[in-house]
């Protein structure tokens, strides 16, 4: 039986107990204690079936939920959008944003750079009139900053939220009347002012005509995020819908805890190692101190004289101060990211190198895809990433919300505003994402069976008049180890990663264009066959059951004299378009 190792630190985080308590469980035999291949002590998840968070991960329906797709385009509004962590997660789940509001100019530039079709409204939310959207938007969400609330009111409702940004979120809900809305905030809101603040929010939501689902703190490490971040999630359903029996089900967790190794290297989370990027540097004196801290350690691991030197007056104060001179561990999730990786109180030093985390490392810990680029100077970029909701956490919540909307839609079909716009010849929203499950495909198409059968070229020399510019093209990143045959037009096959996201259904694909990192596209291939295969066909050391989508391809022609840059807009490595758009580059 295969065992999934769980460190004592991760068990403590999952259960909300201290590390000392988790270690005591192992040392006293409450749960069997083991050493992994690196000599680290911990537990096997399969032996912790009476620990609720672990049991949830062992019995998860994550894979099933991952393939939830919207029955139609569900429209949404995003408030306090920041750099787009929550917005991107919701977009990937299937929501189509009609408006995003954000006050920070650099964050707005980031949103526009990565999603040019999003309607980003830059400015103070107090000045935004949402009434034109009334009845036209399905869903509203936002991570409202939490300022002080008034406790003067007798009932503690909307009036007591005046002057706060929650009041502006509530105003948007009142003016738009979405079917469902969601707010997210820090875990501390749950207990703020002995629960009075949350009571005010509950009463305010009731005044709006919505039923609040019992709020829940979600731990990001349970949702394919390599970071110990916790967020309070508030979901509210409009009363007329709630009274018909529609309920929100929280997302199932991922099957294991992700670590910095997952974030920084090719594997389940990313198809390639973390790209190089800018990052802060330590002054020489601090670099020397940090070089003495072991992986996973902090100031307490320094020699006593160095402790006193680095900590100064803080050395003599109480408390653990474990964020100071903190070096992360490669085989653990990151601590919660802050807005700057080198602050003395909240240090985030790279696990094996003596430096702060880079921008791209920061972004990967928040599960932003590598194509998502951040505007502004270095401090602006760190701030945007540190303030974001992890994309994978938002994606998981978004899929659960899509499931709820699908249940509503099944009983009350409603035409999307955007379907009407498309018929009227207006601009379409970004298209729906189709995510294939290769295990399901393998059941339908055994190895060797063809999913696509396009007519072969039969040795014909092709010129532009022979090309069908209406046909769909898949533009696919070719990782460096497999690039050589594509460089000189000898490539016969292309195999995908473990996941295959596309905005075109598989059987509609016709051409393939290899994308070379740092260069772009140049050559056109015909997809003659698409089938389920395995990575083992191409890499001898790979698992024979590592299913992949395999395109058997044939070189058609070199479309451009030199490489043309093109942005890969779809999640992870793939994007698709049609040949007409490619020829217009």
CATH number of the domain bearing residue 232? 3.40.50.150
In percent, the amount of the chain with pLDDT more than 70 equals 86
- Top mean-pLDDT range of 139-143, 162-166, 426-430: 139-143
Give the pLDDT confidence score for residue 190 in this predicted structure.
Answer: 86
408 vs 237: CA distance, rounded Å: 11
In this prediction, residues 388-398 reach a mean pLDDT of: 97
Query: Which has more confidence, 504 or 252?
Result: 252
Q: Which of 23, 41, 59 is the last residue of a domain?
A: 59
> Among residues 373, 403, 423, which one ends one of the domains?
423
Neighbours of 112 (CB within 10 A): 16
pLDDT of residue 271 exceeding 60: yes
Tens of pLDDT, residues 53-75 = 999 999 999 988 988 888 888 99
Q: Which of 526, 525, 510, 529 is nearest to 453 (CA)?
A: 529
- pLDDT tens readout for residues 99-130: 999 999 999 999 999 999 899 999 999 889 89
Q: Are 402 and 433 in contact (CB under 8 A)?
A: no
Concerning whether 146 is annotated as a catalytic residue, the answer is: yes
The answer to whether 523 and 486 have CB atoms below 8 angstroms apart is yes
* Contact present, 481 and 553 (Cβ < 8 Å): no
For the chain, the average pLDDT equals: 87
Asked whether residue 78 is domain-assigned, the answer is: yes
- 347 assigned to some structural domain: yes
192, 185 Cβ separation under 8 angstroms: no
- What is the pLDDT confidence band of residue 49, given thresholds at 50, 70 and 90? very high
Same-domain status, 102 and 220: yes
pLDDT surpasses 60 at 154: no
Burial class (CB within 10 angstroms; exposed 0-12, middle 13-18, buried 19+) of 533: buried
| 324 close to 314: Cβ distance less than 8 angstroms | yes
359 in a structural domain: no
Indicate whether 104 and 238 sit together in one domain. Answer: yes
Distance CA(165)–CA(173), nearest Å, equals 13
Q: What is the pLDDT of residue 437?
A: 63
pLDDT at 131 over 50: yes
Judge if 179 and 50 occupy the same domain.
Answer: no
Phi-psi category of 529—alpha, beta or left, where left has phi over 0 and alpha has psi -120 to 50? beta
Confidence band, pLDDT 50/70/90 cuts, at residue 44 = very high
| Residue 240 shares a structural domain with residue 101 | yes
Q: Does the residue 369 lie in any domain?
A: no
Same domain, 52 and 71: no
Distance from C-alpha of 527 to C-alpha of 559, rounded to nearest angstrom: 16
The pLDDT of residue 428: 38
Integer angstrom CA distances of residue 128 from 33, 122, 143, 160: 57, 10, 17, 21
What average pLDDT score do residues 258-263 get? 97
For the domain that residue 29 is a member of, what is the CATH number? 1.10.1660.10
The pLDDT confidence band at residue 26, using thresholds 50, 70 and 90, is very high
Q: Would you state the pLDDT for residue 421?
A: 46
Statement: residue 479 has pLDDT above 70: yes
**In the Cβ-directed half-sphere of 146, how many Cα atoms lie within 13 Å?**
18
Q: How many domains does the chain have?
A: 4
In this structure, the answer to whether residues 55 and 67 fall within a common structural domain is no
Structure tokens at 18: 């201290």
Distance, in Å, from the CA atom of 368 to the CA atom of 361, rounded to the nearest integer, reads 10
Q: Which of 17-21, 296-300, 308-312 has the lowest mean pLDDT?
A: 308-312
Please tell me the distance from the alpha carbon of residue 349 to that of residue 341, in angstroms, as a whole number: 7
Helices (H), 115-209: 165-176, 196-208
Please, which pLDDT band fits residue 448 given cuts at 50, 70 and 90?
A: low
* Pair 541, 443 in one domain: yes
Burial 126-139 (b: 16+ CB within 10 A, else e): eebebeebeeebbb
Bridge partners of residue 513, in order along the sequence? 475
Compare 326 and 572 and report the one with higher pLDDT.
326
Spatial separation of the C-alpha atoms in residues 218 and 119, rounded to whole Å? 29
Least confident of 238-242, 250-254, 295-299, 427-431: 427-431
Highest mean pLDDT among 193-202, 385-394, 532-541: 385-394
Question: Quick one: average pLDDT of 424-432?
Answer: 45
Least confident of 171-175, 404-408, 527-531: 527-531
Q: CA-CA distance, 90 to 87, in Å (whole number)?
A: 5
For residue 422, pLDDT over 70 is answered with no
**42 and 128 within one domain:** no
Residues 110 and 148 in one domain: yes
Mean pLDDT, residues 306-328: 79
Question: What are the structure tokens assigned to 150, written together?
Answer: 């008034």
* pLDDT, tens digit, 9 for 90 and up, residues 188-223: 888 888 888 889 899 999 999 999 999 999 999 999
| pLDDT tens column, 171-187 | 999 999 999 999 999 88
Expressed as residue numbers, the domain containing 221 is 63-255+390-423
Same domain, 249 and 286: no
By CB atoms closer than 10 A (0-12, 13-18, 19+), residue 220 is: buried
Q: What is the pLDDT of residue 344?
A: 73
Q: 90, 99, 138, 38: which is closest to 397 by C-alpha?
A: 90
Average pLDDT score over residue span 315-339 = 84
Look at residue 522 and tell me if it is in a domain.
yes
Place 418 in a pLDDT band, splitting at 50, 70 and 90.
very low
- Which distant-in-sequence residues (6+ apart) come within 8 Å of 323 by Cβ? 298, 335, 345, 346, 347
> Are 128 and 248 in a shared domain?
yes
Per DSSP, 289 falls in state H
Query: Any idea what DSSP says for residue 31?
Result: S
Give the C-alpha separation, 114 to 84, whole Å: 9
Q: Which of 152-166, 403-417, 455-469, 568-582 has the highest mean pLDDT?
A: 403-417
Place 429 in a pLDDT band, splitting at 50, 70 and 90: very low
Between 195 and 13, where is the model more confident? 13
Is residue 273 a part of any domain in this protein? no
Residues 6+ apart with CB under 8 A from 25: 11, 31
| Least confidently predicted of 47-51, 304-308, 394-398, 497-501 | 497-501
Q: Which of 313-317, 431-435, 483-487, 552-556 has the lowest mean pLDDT?
A: 431-435
Considering the candidates 108, 146, 339, 349, report the single residue annotated as catalytic.
146
**Element housing 422 (H / E):** helix 417-423
Q: Stretch 434-450: mean pLDDT, rounded?
A: 64
Q: What pLDDT band is residue 580 in, cutting at 50, 70 and 90? A: confident
d(CA 308, CA 299): 9
Q: Which of 35, 59, 83 is the last residue of a domain?
A: 59
Residues 43 and 89 in one domain: no
With respect to residue 264, please indicate whether it lies within any of the assigned structural domains.
Answer: no
Please indicate, yes or no, if residue 379 is contained in any of the structural domains: no
Percentage of the chain exceeding pLDDT 90? 56
């Amino acid at each position: 039986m295969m065992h999934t190792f769980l460190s004592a630190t991760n068990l403590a985080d999952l259960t909300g107990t201290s590390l000392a308590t988790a270690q005591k469980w192992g040392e006293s035999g409450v749960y069997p204690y083991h050493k992994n291949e690196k000599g680290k002590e911990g537990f096997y998840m399969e032996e912790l079936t009476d620990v609720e968070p672990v049991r949830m991960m062992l019995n998860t329906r994550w894979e099933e939920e991952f393939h939830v797709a919207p029955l139609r385009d569900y429209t949404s509004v995003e408030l306090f959008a920041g750099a787009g962590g929550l917005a991107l997660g919701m977009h990937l789940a299937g929501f189509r944003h009609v408006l995003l509001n954000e006050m920070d100019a650099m964050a707005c530039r980031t949103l526009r750079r990565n999603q040019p079709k999003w309607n980003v409204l830059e400015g103070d939310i107090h000045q935004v009139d949402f009434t034109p959207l009334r009845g036209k938007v399905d869903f509203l969400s936002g991570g409202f900053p939490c300022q002080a609330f008034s406790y003067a009111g007798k009932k503690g409702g909307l009036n007591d939220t005046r002057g706060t940004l929650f009041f502006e979120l509530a105003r948007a809900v009142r003016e738009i009347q979405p079917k469902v809305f969601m707010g997210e905030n820090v875990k501390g809101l749950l207990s703020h002012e002995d629960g009075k603040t949350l009571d005010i929010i509950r009463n305010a939501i009731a005044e709006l005509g919505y039923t609040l689902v019992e709020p829940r703190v979600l731990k990001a490490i349970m949702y394919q995020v390599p970071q110990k971040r916790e967020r309070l999630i508030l979901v509210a359903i409009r009363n007329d819908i709630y009274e018909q029996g529609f309920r929100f089900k929280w997302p199932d967790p991922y099957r294991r805890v992700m670590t910095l190794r997952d974030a920084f290297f090719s594997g389940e989370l990313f198809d390639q190692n973390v790209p190089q990027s800018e990052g802060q540097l330590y002054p020489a004196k601090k670099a020397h101190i940090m070089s003495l801290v072991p992986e996973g350690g902090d100031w307490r691991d320094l020699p006593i004289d160095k402790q006193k030197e680095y900590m100064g007056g803080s050395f003599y104060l109480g408390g653990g101060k474990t964020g100071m001179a903190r070096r992360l561990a490669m085989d653990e999730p990151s601590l919660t990211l802050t807005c700057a990786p080198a602050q003395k109180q909240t240090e985030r030093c790279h696990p094996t190198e003596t430096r702060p985390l880079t921008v791209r490392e920061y972004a990967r810990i928040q599960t932003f895809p590598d194509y998502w680029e951040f505007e502004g100077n270095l401090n602006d970029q760190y701030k945007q990433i540190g303030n974001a909701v992890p994309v994978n956490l938002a994606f998981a919540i978004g899929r659960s919300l899509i499931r709820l909307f699908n249940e509503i839609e099944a009983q009350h079909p409603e035409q999307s505003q955007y379907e009407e716009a498309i018929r009227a010849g207006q601009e379409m929203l970004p298209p729906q994402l189709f995510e294939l499950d290769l295990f399901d495909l393998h059941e339908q198409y055994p190895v060797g069976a063809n999913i696509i059968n396009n007519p072969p070229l039969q040795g014909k020399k092709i010129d532009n008049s022979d090309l069908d510019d209406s046909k769909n093209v898949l533009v696919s990143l070719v990782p460096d180890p497999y690039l050589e045959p594509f460089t000189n037009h000898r490539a016969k096959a292309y195999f995908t990663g473990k996941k295959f996201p596309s905005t075109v259904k598989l059987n509609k694909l016709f051409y393939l264009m290899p994308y070379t990192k740092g260069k772009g596209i140049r050559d056109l291939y015909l997809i003659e066959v698409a089938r389920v295969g395995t990575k083992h066909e191409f890499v001898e050391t790979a698992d024979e059951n590592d299913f992949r989508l395999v395109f058997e391809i044939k070189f058609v022609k070199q479309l451009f004299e030199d490489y043309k840059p093109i942005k890969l807009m779809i999640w992870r490595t793939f994007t698709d378009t049609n040949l007409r758009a490619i020829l217009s580059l």
